[in-house]
Amino acid sequence: MTEHLHIHTHGAAAHISLNRPKALHALTLDMCRGMSDALLGWRSDDAVDVVLLDHAEGRGFCAGGDVTLLRNSSQEDAGRRGREFFHTEYRLNHLMFTYPKPIIAFMDGVTMGGGVGISQPCKYRVATENTMFAMPEGSIGLFPDVGAGWYLPRLPGRTGQFLALTGARLDGAECLWAGLATHYIESEKLAQVKARIVAQPGDVEAILLEVSSTPPEARLAGNAETIDRLFASDTLEEIIAALEADASEWAGKELKAVRAKCPATSKVALRQFVHGAAMQDFADNMAMEYRIASRMIMRPDFTEGVRAVLVDKDHDPKWQPATPEGVTDAMLNAIFAPGPEGGEWTPLPEAS
């Protein structure tokens, strides 16, 4: 078991706390394996009724995955370790999605990338005033993964496409409005909530409902009609044209955000969401995302995006191609093609 996880049980309530505060609890390969092992052990344990998932300390619930490993792998071993990480992480995501016992995720803080992947499969997803939700992969030339191809196109209207193309950050109230969270509870009440669930694991729903608060007004709700109109297309060029044609300050701000993101990432996300929205099985979505991930970490955009955002921090990436028009259907077809090197993704046998 890894030092970056606290795993224990309190009677019939099992508990996983992420414990990597200096990295905002971003997931490592060992953390993904440790969580999967714990969940598999509790899956058939009649003494365990519910699972609590939170973070031990600090301001992040989970800020993502191990980007350093992915970047090093793309440069050192032709993506082998990167594929191993994605295969393991996606198995965890799928295990949680199909888990027969309720999992309660406490999204109290930064919830991005990999943090989205381990919160959205949970039956109960608690947001607070500290929640900061985003899928910012377009800034580093990756793509919205960990199940985003399933979850985001199923959000209200074109909210998912908006989040993927802009990297917009949502607060707890907006997460509740969009359905990304099931409950909104003030952070000062979380310790009480967890203690009550431990004492009465059969009353999770009633406890969460009783302690929930009315959140502030969701800003996202006020922009929903505009988002649905301006992000209506599944074509990046058409979305950009719609934003350009709108003279509002809001459209100008979001146009700048869209243009700053990796064009290949944005086109991948739009195609991914079309396919994901039509899928009937979460495992099929994860197999698609594994194909995409295996290719995206080997593209120069990923190395360049990580350099610009996380290494040199000049936030001035040079994307290849630099424009949406340069990202061709042939490029996308190659990214989505079956049979990445090393084979296809498969669920854990116990979760299939």
Contact (Cβ atoms closer than 8 angstroms) between residue 184 and residue 217 = no
Cβ proximity of 113 and 137 under 8 Å: yes
Instruction: Estimate to the nearest angstrom the gap between the alpha carbon of 278 and the chain centroid.
Output: 19
Annotation says 145 is catalytic: yes
Reported residue count of the chain is: 352
65 labelled catalytic: yes
Q: With residue 216 as reference, give the H or E element that holds it.
A: none
Q: How far is CA 115 from the centre of its chain?
A: 6
From the list 66, 89, 108, 137, the catalytic residue is: 137
Q: Give the strands of the sheet with 110-112, arranged side by side.
A: 60-62, 110-112, 132-134
Does residue 235 contact residue 220 with C-beta atoms inside 8 Å? no
**Would you call 106 exposed, middle or buried from its count of C-beta atoms within 10 A (0-12, 13-18, 19+)?**
buried
- Point out the catalytic residue in the list 34, 60, 64, 65: 65
137 carries an active-site annotation:
yes
User: Which runs of consecutive H residues, i.e. helices, occur in the chain?
Assistant: 29-43, 67-76, 80-97, 114-119, 148-151, 159-166, 172-178, 190-199, 204-211, 219-230, 236-245, 249-260, 263-278, 282-296, 300-306, 329-336
C-alpha to C-alpha distance for 130 and 132, rounded to whole angstroms? 6
Of 34, 79, 82, 114, the active-site residue reads: 114
| Amino acid (one-letter) located at 9 | T
Question: Of 54, 66, 145, 171, which one is the catalytic site residue?
Answer: 145
Active site residues: 65, 114, 137, 145
